Structure 1
Amino acid sequence: MKYRTSYRMFVIVFMAMKFFWQIYWFQRFRRVWDERTAHKWEALLERQAKEYRQKALELEGLLIKFGQFLSTRADLLPPAFLREMEGLVDRVEPVPPEYSRATIEREWGCRIEDQLSWFGGEPVASASIGEVFKGYLHNGTPVAVKVQRHKVEKIFYTDFRALRIVFWMLNRIKSVRAQADFPALYRELVHVMSKELDFKKELKHAQYFQERYEESKGVYIPTYYEELSTRRVLVMEWIEGEKVTDTEFLKKHELDEESLAKRVFDLFIDQLLSAGMFHADPHTGNLMVQSDGTLVMIDFGMVGEIKQEDATDIQNIVQGILLEDYDQVIRALKSMDFLLENADEGKVKRLLRDTIHMYVQGDFTSFDQEVVNQVFEDLQEFVKDQPIQLPADYAFLGRAVSIVVGVVTTVFPNVDLLEWGKPVIQRWVGGGESNASIYKQVLKESARPILSLPRSLNEYLTDGQKQREFQQQSQAVGFLHQYYVMYGLFTSLVTIGACMTLLMNLLMWEVVWVTFVSSGAFGIGFLMLLVIARSHFNMIQRERGLKR
């Protein structure tokens, strides 16, 4: 029945309609949102997530991939649903072997025995799109043969049609429509998911990574046999190795866990933060380690791409955070299409600033509890309003990041990701070929420290939220630094002017009273400079003491 178009579409659309109705009914008749109601709400979402997972495993096909896609969409789904989707593993029951043999022979246009001296009768791995068999070429070389599952294209395109109806229904709900651009999201979903159905594209991806890491020591990409690879069959070198997280294997071959974790980090930080393709599914089944410590990447069906302008936007986000220029961060987020038209940019900037300040402080203890509560309330309201969307390619980027972090911390639990990431930041600081070098940005910021005081004062006078936060340490200290610099500069100008006037009058024997006035102004200005310098020095010392 799962191969029947009408049955699949009915099950998927009916399940979605049932979920929508349950949510509407629940919210319609529960207007008092107390702790008991919240508990029932979580239970409802958990039941729906489990039902979706069960249906996905029964029907297979796109529902499994879509569930994995949903596990990355914290901007669309509540935590209860995300937790269930994270456990949706792409491993399904294999199809009868005769179906796979028929597909291979149809694609090759000959018998399997004409190309292989031996071909395994049972698959060594089975997923929602393809199955992997072991075989041997006539010269004795072992190969892995990946075969597309029986009728998988028909299943996927049927599911695309069903999901189009579901997305159409979502877009008809006014309160939901404001949360995301569902037509664009559907197009991105189809674009990303459909690429996995063409093994020729996976072959091109693999060749790209082979060329990219050809000179990299300790990283290996298997050889692919282009002459035996088609749209539905992919033949590659057979690789012996174990999962990179197999601690017993690492101990047996005396492989240094920290060094291995660092190489995994370096391998993927280069992909995830630079222009070019990145492996979008780097789980432990696709990342292997050999006895000599060589890392092996396999399975390039799910690949994302970071364009040059995206890489520049990511740099601008990092630079904006480092320089506390959240207008620059907002511009970069808008350029990457993260912010919807109805997004409250002021709220986004405020939440970014508060969250980053708390992270820099190390914990929440240095903040007044009222401010912390206000930040959490704003964050909850921010999530509820959903002023952002996460495009599909970035969703897979986020998923890849989370998987890599999980792999690295599993291999070496004491990892310091910030310390390992410093060389990357240093390369960004250098600027390279980028037009947005941090050096240029810092120079611009350093050239206008005085001009930022009116902006800070204006924000203080016009922003009610800032009035509540103004007494917090980081902003208050920054404001005082600006105050002392501006006050000191003004006093210096007055003192220098008085000194010049005094000298001119003494040399030219001008009016006596001008000499006395300028002398007094010079003396008072000099004393004020001493007081300002002393006060500023004491403030800096107190600040250092607090940090220690």
Structure 2
Amino acid sequence: MESKKYIGIYRMYIIIWMSIKFLWKIFWFQKLNRIWDQETERKWEKLLKELATEYRQRAVYLGGLLIKFGQFLSSRGDLLPSSFIRELEGLVDRVQPVPFEYSKGIIEEDWQESMDKYIASIDEDPIASASIGEVYKAYLHNGTPVAVKVQRYRVREIFQTDFKAMRVVFGILNRFTIFGKKADLPSLYKEVVAVMSDELDFTMELENGNYFRKRFENHSNVYIPEYFTDLSTGRVLVMEWVEGTRVTDISFIKRNDLDREKLARTIFDLCVEQFVNAGMFHADPHAGNIMIKEDGTVVVIDFGMVGKVKREDVDHIRSMIEGFIIDDYDRVVDSLREMNFLLDDADTEAMKKMMRRLVSMYLSEDMSKMDATVMNDILEDLQDFVKDQPIQLPADYAFLGRAASMILGVLTAVYPQMDLVSWGKPVINEWMTGSQSKFGFYKNIVKETGQPLLSLPRALVEFLEDGDKEREWQQTKQQQTLWHHFYFFYAAVTFLIGSTILVASFFLPESLQEIPIWVLYLISGLSFAGTFLFSWKHASMIKNIS
């Protein structure tokens, strides 16, 4: 007799009732705790942890969409409290394996042939068992070892049932809770369905794997396994078997005398290249999906969950960074709006003020001492900021934040002494100014500050309006802004003077012909020297703060 967790009505009942119970507990907690003090905060954190723990336990029991949705929620720092997310981060996609007969039936149904025609032998105990697929080690008739990933028994039916339950839950949230006002829940539901449906189609994972294999084929220290296209279907994937272990296996690293710094740098470069450039990125880069071979080669597997950085968004992100550097938060907000990050009711003035405070606080720190702990603190602060603002991250960028957090954890385990600033600065500088940029960074800095005298009054008014506490936050940023305008303005003035005198020396009126020509050349030369000096100082300042 099959488990009742396969019964649609039962699954829907568990999911919907669990959601209603959670909402009820939250409602009564807020009803009974009108005064929010430290004790109330402690009780609130305890309640959130209990709810998240119950969700995780239900997800492990039911499998299906709940596990994947839990991983999706763990990336939504823009929607959920950090204590709830931390508990969900422990939701590992491992479930009890199904009997091998089920997997064999799916293989033969998709191949429309007996499995023995292509497979010489197969280990019936899976090496991995997750909510969507089982992975087995097998051998082809020519002796080639392969990994065979087979979709779990009735998983499509289970996911379709869970989608229906989730639609009811999202409807309740949208109609009866504050989430309906803070987030675009219908769009969020469509994203969930789209992302999870892609993972159910193994042909998508095949295409993703081939994409990454081609993208990193010239990276000598990185390897992507080959897929056997002729044996792969929508429910069966056959790929090259790679001998190795988890990249965080320190005993393996020491036993093979591998350079931990070099290994960490390879992972860092691999991931940063995906995160900052247009194209797909691996959205689930936990230690189980990043392997290492005995020779130190990094092997990346499992491309079922990917995100995409749009080409047009890369330019928007550059523009947003430029806005932060030159203290132009209108540009930052415009970029967020172009990327569809902002909801319709966004209070952009309040957002600009909060962003200015956040940037100013971090500018006052010694960023040369940044490590993974500091970086995690920054990511948590950003999550808190986003959650309090009318910002809803598209799924791809929520996954990007989750992936970045995962990689920090992996890097910390492999090489705790890493220097993120020295590693990252050349990459960001090249990204901001490189040929892939639609427009050069420094060219835009000049373009956007071509009217410094118009910017100075705005900066002065904001400074006067912000008050004493705000001035303390603004001090460093104001100094940078004023010096930025000072250098640019005097570089422009000296260039104008030098050019004017040089041109005028060829067309002197008769009344000025008694002025020695060498005097004019001297003045012009000094002016151009001033232009060079102010331009150099300006470029140095921009480089230091970028």
Q: Shorter-chain TM-score category?
A: 0.7 to 0.9
Cα distance, 1:468 vs structure 2: 4.0
Aligned to 1:528: none
Q: Is the 8 A contact 1:178 1:386 kept in 2?
A: no
Is residue 2:50 matched to residue 1:47?
Answer: yes
Q: 1:193 aligns with which of 196, 214, 221?
A: 196
User: Partner of 1:2: helix, strand, or coil?
Assistant: helix
Is residue 2:32 matched to residue 1:29?
Answer: yes
Question: What amino acid does structure 2 have at the position aligned with 1:278?
Answer: F
Aligned to 2:242: 239
Is residue 2:282 matched to residue 1:284?
Answer: no
> TM (normalized to structure 1)?
0.83
Aligned to 1:393: 396
User: Partner of 2:12: helix, strand, or coil?
Assistant: helix
Aligned to 1:219: 222
Could you tell me how far apart the structure 1 residues matched to 2:483 and 2:274 are? 40
Q: Is the 8 A contact 2:341 2:394 kept in 1?
A: yes
Could you tell me how far apart the structure 2 residues matched to 1:86 and 1:286 are? 16
Cα distance, 1:125 vs structure 2: 0.8
Aligned to 1:532: none
Q: 1:97 aligns with which of 80, 96, 100?
A: 100
Is residue 2:59 matched to residue 1:72?
Answer: no
Could you tell me how far apart the structure 1 residues matched to 2:486 and 2:327 are? 20
Question: What amino acid does structure 2 have at the position aligned with 1:23?
Answer: I
Cα 1:284–1:444, aligned 2, differ >3 Å: closer, same or farther?
Answer: same
* Of 432-441 and 228-237, the range deviating more from structure 2: 432-441
Could you tell me how far apart the structure 2 residues matched to 1:306 and 1:384 are? 22
Aligned to 1:519: none
Could you tell me how far apart the structure 1 residues matched to 2:384 and 2:282 are? 34
What pairs up with 1:319-358 in 2 under 5 angstroms? 319-358=322-361
Cα distance, 1:141 vs structure 2: 0.4
Question: What amino acid does structure 2 have at the position aligned with 1:473?
Answer: Q
Aligned to 1:477: 479
Aligned to 1:456: 459
1:38-86 CA distance string (max 9 Å, x none): 2222221111111111110110111011111111111111122111101
Aligned to 1:534: none
Is residue 2:309 matched to residue 1:309?
Answer: no
Cα 1:381–1:139, aligned 2, differ >3 Å: closer, same or farther?
Answer: closer
Q: Is the 8 A contact 2:286 2:407 kept in 1?
A: yes
Aligned to 2:266: 263
Could you tell me how far apart the structure 2 residues matched to 1:103 and 1:479 are? 64
Is residue 2:122 matched to residue 1:119?
Answer: yes
Q: Is the 8 A contact 2:149 2:237 kept in 1?
A: yes
Could you tell me how far apart the structure 1 residues matched to 2:139 and 2:69 are? 35
Could you tell me how far apart the structure 1 residues matched to 2:218 and 2:462 are? 52
Could you tell me how far apart the structure 2 residues matched to 1:380 and 1:304 are? 19
Q: Is the 8 A contact 1:282 1:404 kept in 2?
A: yes
1:483-523 CA distance string (max 9 Å, x none): 9889999x99xxxxxxxxxxxxxx89xxxxxxxxxxxxxxx
> TM (normalized to structure 2)?
0.83
Question: What amino acid does structure 2 have at the position aligned with 1:230?
Answer: T
Q: Is the 8 A contact 1:95 1:149 kept in 2?
A: yes
Cα distance, 1:151 vs structure 2: 0.6
Could you tell me how far apart the structure 2 residues matched to 1:193 and 1:430 are? 37
Could you tell me how far apart the structure 2 residues matched to 1:231 and 1:420 are? 40
Cα distance, 1:177 vs structure 2: 1.4
Q: Which runs of 4+ in 1 moved over 6 A?
A: 378-381, 482-489
Cα distance, 1:263 vs structure 2: 0.7
Question: What amino acid does structure 1 have at the position aligned with 2:410?
Answer: V
Cα distance, 1:445 vs structure 2: 4.3
Cα distance, 1:181 vs structure 2: 0.3
Q: 1:106 aligns with which of 109, 116, 128?
A: 109
1:204-254 CA distance string (max 9 Å, x none): 111111111122211111111111111111001111011111111111111
Cα 1:138–1:45, aligned 2, differ >3 Å: closer, same or farther?
Answer: same
Considering only CA atoms, is the larger Rg found in Structure 1 or Structure 2? 1
Q: Is the 8 A contact 2:449 2:485 kept in 1?
A: no
Cα distance, 1:428 vs structure 2: 2.8
Aligned to 1:421: 424
Count of matched residue pairs: 487
* Of 97-106 and 465-474, the range deviating more from structure 2: 465-474
Could you tell me how far apart the structure 1 residues matched to 2:489 and 2:279 are? 50
Aligned to 1:294: 297
Cα distance, 1:466 vs structure 2: 5.4
Cα distance, 1:19 vs structure 2: 0.8
Question: What amino acid does structure 1 have at the position aligned with 2:475?
Answer: Q
Could you tell me how far apart the structure 2 residues matched to 1:109 and 1:379 are? 51
Q: How much is the aligned-residue C-alpha RMSD, in angstroms?
A: 3.0
Cα 1:265–1:480, aligned 2, differ >3 Å: closer, same or farther?
Answer: closer
* Of 149-158 and 170-179, the range deviating more from structure 2: 170-179
Q: Is the 8 A contact 1:459 1:466 kept in 2?
A: no
Aligned to 2:231: 228
Could you tell me how far apart the structure 2 residues matched to 1:254 and 1:65 are? 37
Question: What amino acid does structure 2 have at the position aligned with 1:198?
Answer: D
Q: 2:212 aligns with which of 193, 209, 214?
A: 209
Cα 1:32–1:147, aligned 2, differ >3 Å: closer, same or farther?
Answer: same
Cα 1:473–1:229, aligned 2, differ >3 Å: closer, same or farther?
Answer: same
Q: Is the 8 A contact 2:452 2:489 kept in 1?
A: no
1:247-270 CA distance string (max 9 Å, x none): 111111111111111111111111
Cα 1:30–1:429, aligned 2, differ >3 Å: closer, same or farther?
Answer: closer
Percentage of pairs with the same residue = 53
Q: Is the 8 A contact 2:433 2:440 kept in 1?
A: yes
Cα distance, 1:300 vs structure 2: 0.8
Could you tell me how far apart the structure 1 residues matched to 2:10 and 2:211 are? 40
